[in-house]
Amino acid sequence: MVIAMASMTTALAQSGGSYLLRHEKQIDAIIKDMTLEEKIAMLHGKNMFSSEGIPRLGIADVEYADGPFGIREEMEPHSWNSAHLTTDSATFFPTGSALAATWSTEWAYAYGKGMSHEARLRGKDMILGPAINIQRIPTGGRTYEYLSEDPLLSGTLAVYYTRGAQDDGTAVCLKHYALNNQEDYRGFVDVRISDHAMHEIYLRPFEMAVREGDAWGVMAAYNKVNGRWCSENKHLLTTVLREQWGFPGMVISDWGGVHSTVDAVTSGMNVEMPGSRFMGQALLDSVKAGKVSEDVINQRVREILRVRLTVEPIAKEKANRLPVGNDEEMTIALEVARRSIVLLKNDKQGLLPIDTRRVRTIAVIGENAIKTMALGGVGAGVKTRKEITPFRGLRDILGNNVKLTYAKGYKSYERQWGGPSAGNKQQDPVQEADPELVEEAVKVAKSADLVLYFAGNNREVETEGSDRKSITLPSGQDELAEALAKANKNLITVIVSGGPVDVSTVSKVSGALVASWFNGSMGGQALAEVLTGKISPSGKLPMTWPKKLEDVPAYVTGTYPQNMEDNNQGDIFVDLTRNRNNDRRQQLIANYAEEDLVGYRWYDQKKVAVAYSFGFGLSYAKFQYSDLQVKTVGGDFEVSFILTNHSAIDAEEVAQVYVSRIKSSISRPVKELKGFHRVALKGGERQRITIPLRRADLCHWDEASQSWKLEPGKIKIQVGGSSTNLPLHHEVKL
Ligand code: BGC
C-alpha cells in the first residue's frame, strides 16, 4: 500500500515554529552594537542583486539570484547589463508550468534542492523564486513562470520547492506577493478583490509555503491591492503575512517597486531593491525627524538577520565560481521534464508512440524544434551550458535507424526591443504564414512517413513585462498545420509553450497532440523518450486550455484591464530614478469580479466547454480506478482506492481528489482539488493508493472572523485521472 504525500501531510505539519528563530539572543546583541547608519544600510540595495551586511561585525551582504528556474547570470553592479563572465552558467530547469504539470512533490523538492546547490556554488544566499502567483489569464506574460490556476497544486509544489532549497541551505523568496496576475500595467494596476477570494485562491499558495514550507523570504509585488501598493500594504505585509501566518523572515521589494519611505518600512518592508531611493538617506532622515521609531528599524533589521544568520554565508571569494550546470542538476532537470510532458490527443490509429520499426523517415517541421528556450523573458533568462533541443533529442535517440529531414516552416516571432526610453511595445506576434516556408515544409512533409510539427510560442512571445494579446498560435502556424495535414495524414503536433494556446485547428488536423512546455536543459531528450515510447507520458495540465480567449473569466467579466489608450508598457525596464506615480495610471483598476471562480472553477460552474481540462493528460498505459474507501483518521480523512495498470506498459499516473459541497450556506465552486498523488505502476500492476484529505483544506475563509472555518454538512469526494474524468465518488458528513 502506498500512502501518498499529498497536499499537506502530517510530515509537513509545522514542527514547532520557524527554523529562523534560533538566533534571537545573538541578534539582540548584534542590534545593540549597531549604529543607526549601519542599520539603515541593510534596508536597501547595495548592488543590483545584493544588500549590505555589517562589514565591521563580519556579517556578509545578502546575495540574491533570479530564479525561479535557473540561477541567472551575473550583472554589472548597477545596471541590467550582463557582466559577461564565463563562469556563471547554470542548469536551465523546466519552467514553472512544466514543473506543475508533473504534480510531483518528490520532484518539486529535488528541483528546489538543485536550484539551491547551484546558488551556493555561485555564492548566492536567496533564490528569487519560486514564482507562485495564480494563473488568472492564459495570456499572462509570466504564466510560464507560475505554477497553476489552482491554489492547492501551486501551494503544495511551492512547499516542496521551498523545503528542497532551504534544506540545502539557500533561502527562497516567494514572489510576487500578491495578486500580480498580469504583466501589462503591472507597475500600477490596482487589484480589487474580496477578502475570501483573496485568501482562498490568490494568497493560499503563499500561506502554504510560509506555514508549511517555512519560507524565509517574500518579494512584494509591483501592483496595488485594494488601493495600496504591495510594498506598503500593511494588511498584506503585517496583518496577513506576519500576524496571521507567523512569518518571521524578510520581505524585499520587487525591483524598483517601492513608492514611499515611512509607509514602506512601517508596513513591513525590509529591503528596498535594488537602489536606496526611499529606504536610504530618506529613511535615515525620517528616523532622525521622529517619523519612524528606531524600534521599527530594529525589528526590520532583526528579520533580515534571522535569514542572514541562518543561511550560511559563502564569502564571494570562497565561492566556487565555476560554470555550473552539474550532472546532478541536469539529471533533476531531465526527470522533471520526463514527467511534465502532456499527451493531449492520440487518435485511434495510434501515431504515438512512434513505431520506429516501421517509420523510416520523419519530417521535423517548425523552428521550435531547433530553437533553444533558456534565454529571453527578461529577468528569468538562464545562461545555460547545455540545452537539448527537440531535434537533437530525436536524433540522439533515433540514431541512424530513422532519417530525419527538417524544414523551418515559419518565422519565429522576435521582439523588437525599444529600450528603456522607447518603452517595450509588444506587437502581435506575426499571424500570417510565410508562403515560401510553407511550400518548403509541405515538400519535406510529403516525402516522409510521419510529420512531427513543432508549433507554439517562444520566450519572446511569453515574457515578463507584457501579456500576449491572444492565444492564437503565432507566425501563421495554424495555416501551416492545415497545409501539412493535407500533405501527410500522419501528423503529430508538439506545442512548445509555457501557457495555453488555442489548439482548435492543430488538434483537428493532427492525429496526435503533445504539450511539451519550455522544458529546460534536458527537455529535448525527455520529449524524444516520450515520442518514441521509451517512457509513457504522464504530465497533467496544471491549468485549463480554453477553447478561446473570450471564454476566460477575466475576459468574460471584462475585468482584465489591457487596452489603455496610450498602451505604454514601458515599465518592463524599471526606471530606478523616476517616480512612476501618475494620476491617471493610479486609477487603473482590475476588479476580480469572478471572485474565487478562477480556471476550472469557472468553466465548471458556467458549464463552458474547454479544449483540454485542468488535470487532463493521456498515457500509453490504461489505468483503472476502483474501490473507493473513505476513512476518518483523527480529525482528517483518508481517501483510498485501487489503481490498476491494465496494460503491459510501465507508467506513472497522477490520481486526483476533488471535493464538492452537497449543500452550503455560502456559494462554493462546483468542485475543488483537495489532494493528489503521482504513482508509478508496472504493466499489469495494481496498488491501493491512500491520499490524506485534511480538514484544514476543506475550510473556507470567514471574512467576519478573519479566519478559516469549517462548515458542517455533507461533502462529495470524487477521484480520478483529471478534473473531468472522475469515476469514483463517495459522500461523507463533516
Ligand atoms: C521581476 C522579478 C525579478 C526582479 C529581479 C523584476 O522585474 O519582476 O521577478 O526577480 O526583476 O530581476
Rounded to 5°, the CA angle 474-479-485 comes to: 125
Question: What grid cell was written down for 295?
Answer: 524600534
Pocket test for ligand 1, best of 254, 258, 463, 467 (most atoms within 8 A of CB): 254
Summarize pLDDT for 103-120 with one digit per residue, the tens. Answer: 999 999 999 999 999 999
Report strand pairing: 512-515 vs 491-496.
parallel
Q: Is the pLDDT of residue 344 over 70?
A: yes
Residues 484-491, mean pLDDT to the nearest whole number: 98
Which residue intervals of 513-643 are DSSP H helices?
523-531, 553-556, 583-586, 600-606
Summarize pLDDT for 605-643 with one digit per residue, the tens. Answer: 999 999 999 999 999 999 999 999 999 998 899 999 999
570 or 350: whose pLDDT is higher? 350
Q: How far is the CA of 195 from the centre of ligand 1 (A)?
A: 27
Ligand 1: atom nearest CA of 67 is 10
Instruction: Of 355-369, 401-415, 473-487, 666-680, give the lowest mean pLDDT range.
Output: 401-415
Nearest to 601 by CA among 674, 515, 516, 497: 674
Q: Is the pLDDT of residue 326 over 80?
A: no
Question: What grid cell was written down for 113?
Answer: 534542492
Summarize pLDDT for 413-427 with one digit per residue, the tens. Answer: 877 654 433 344 455
Cα–Cα distance for residue pair 275/292, rounded to 1 Å: 20
Ligand 1: atom nearest CA of 186 is 8
Residues 642-668, mean pLDDT to the nearest whole number: 96
Q: Look at residue 379 in the predicted model and tell me its pLDDT.
A: 67
261: confidence class by pLDDT, cuts 50, 70, 90: very high
Percent of the chain with pLDDT over 90: 84
Instruction: Of 44-53, 74-83, 371-380, 464-473, give the lowest mean pLDDT range.
Output: 371-380
Residues 332-337, mean pLDDT to the nearest whole number: 98
Q: How far is the CA of 533 from the centre of ligand 1 (A)?
A: 39
Q: How far is the CA of 72 from the centre of ligand 1 (A)?
A: 11
Summarize pLDDT for 386-397 with one digit per residue, the tens. Answer: 999 999 999 999
377: confidence class by pLDDT, cuts 50, 70, 90: confident
Q: Is the pLDDT of residue 378 over 50?
A: yes
Summarize pLDDT for 191-233 with one digit per residue, the tens. Answer: 999 999 999 999 999 999 999 999 999 999 999 999 999 999 9
Summarize pLDDT for 591-600 with one digit per residue, the tens. Answer: 999 999 999 9
Q: Look at residue 223 in the predicted model and tell me its pLDDT.
A: 96
Which residue has its alpha carbon closest to ligand 1 atom 3?
Answer: 379
Q: Is 594 in the pocket of ligand 1 (CB under 6 A)?
A: no
Q: What is the pTM of this model?
A: 0.94
How many CB atoms are located within 10 Å of the residue 26 CB?
A: 11
Question: What residues contact residue 14 under an 8 Å CB cut-off, 6+ apart?
Answer: 211, 212, 214
Summarize pLDDT for 131-164 with one digit per residue, the tens. Answer: 999 999 999 999 999 999 999 999 999 999 999 9
Q: Is 197 in the pocket of ligand 1 (CB under 6 A)?
A: no
Q: Look at residue 323 in the predicted model and tell me its pLDDT.
A: 60
Q: Look at residue 313 in the predicted model and tell me its pLDDT.
A: 65
Pocket test for ligand 1, best of 48, 73, 183, 464 (most atoms within 8 A of CB): 464
Q: Is 255 in the pocket of ligand 1 (CB under 6 A)?
A: yes
Contact 166, 214 (CB under 8 A): yes
Cα–Cα distance for residue pair 701/695, rounded to 1 Å: 13
Q: How far is the CA of 109 from the centre of ligand 1 (A)?
A: 23
Q: How far is the CA of 254 from the centre of ligand 1 (A)?
A: 6
Cα–Cα distance for residue pair 717/627, rounded to 1 Å: 13
Q: Is 625 in the pocket of ligand 1 (CB under 6 A)?
A: no
Which residue has its alpha carbon closest to ligand 1 atom 7?
Answer: 255
314: confidence class by pLDDT, cuts 50, 70, 90: low
Which residue has its alpha carbon closest to ligand 1 atom 2?
Answer: 254
Instruction: Of 11-15, 256-260, 589-593, give the lowest mean pLDDT range.
Output: 11-15
Q: Look at residue 380 in the predicted model and tell me its pLDDT.
A: 77
Report strand pairing: 623-633 vs 491-496.
unpaired
Q: Is the pLDDT of residue 319 over 70?
A: no
Cα–Cα distance for residue pair 108/161, rounded to 1 Å: 5
Ligand 1: atom nearest CA of 222 is 8
Q: What is the mean pLDDT of the chain?
A: 91
562 or 681: whose pLDDT is higher? 681
Query: Residue 411 has what DSSP assignment?
Result: P
Q: Is 254 in the pocket of ligand 1 (CB under 6 A)?
A: yes
Q: How far is the CA of 582 from the centre of ligand 1 (A)?
A: 22
Task: Judge whether 566 counts as a catalytic residue.
Answer: no
Residues 399-409, mean pLDDT to the nearest whole number: 96
Q: How far is the CA of 230 from the centre of ligand 1 (A)?
A: 15
Q: Look at residue 431 in the predicted model and tell me its pLDDT.
A: 77
Query: Residue 174 has what DSSP assignment?
Result: E
Ligand 1: atom nearest CA of 574 is 7
| Phi/psi of residue 95, nearest 5 degrees | -75, 175
* β-pair partners for 405: 363
Which residue has its alpha carbon closest to ligand 1 atom 4?
Answer: 255
Catalytic option among 88, 254, 467, 478: 254
Summarize pLDDT for 519-578 with one digit per residue, the tens. Answer: 999 999 999 999 999 999 999 999 999 999 999 999 999 999 765 544 444 333 333 334
33: confidence class by pLDDT, cuts 50, 70, 90: very high
Q: Is 183 in the pocket of ligand 1 (CB under 6 A)?
A: no
Element (H, E) at 658: strand 651-661
Ligand 1: atom nearest CA of 129 is 10
Q: How far is the CA of 100 from the centre of ligand 1 (A)?
A: 21
Pocket test for ligand 1, best of 63, 255, 378, 572 (most atoms within 8 A of CB): 255
3-state per-residue secondary structure call for 196-232:
HHHHHHHCHHHHHHHHCCCCCEEEECCCEECCEEHHH
Contact 156, 694 (CB under 8 A): no
Summarize pLDDT for 489-514 with one digit per residue, the tens. Answer: 999 999 999 999 999 999 999 999 99
Which residue has its alpha carbon closest to ligand 1 atom 11?
Answer: 255
Cis preceding-peptide flag for 176 (omega within 30 of 0): yes
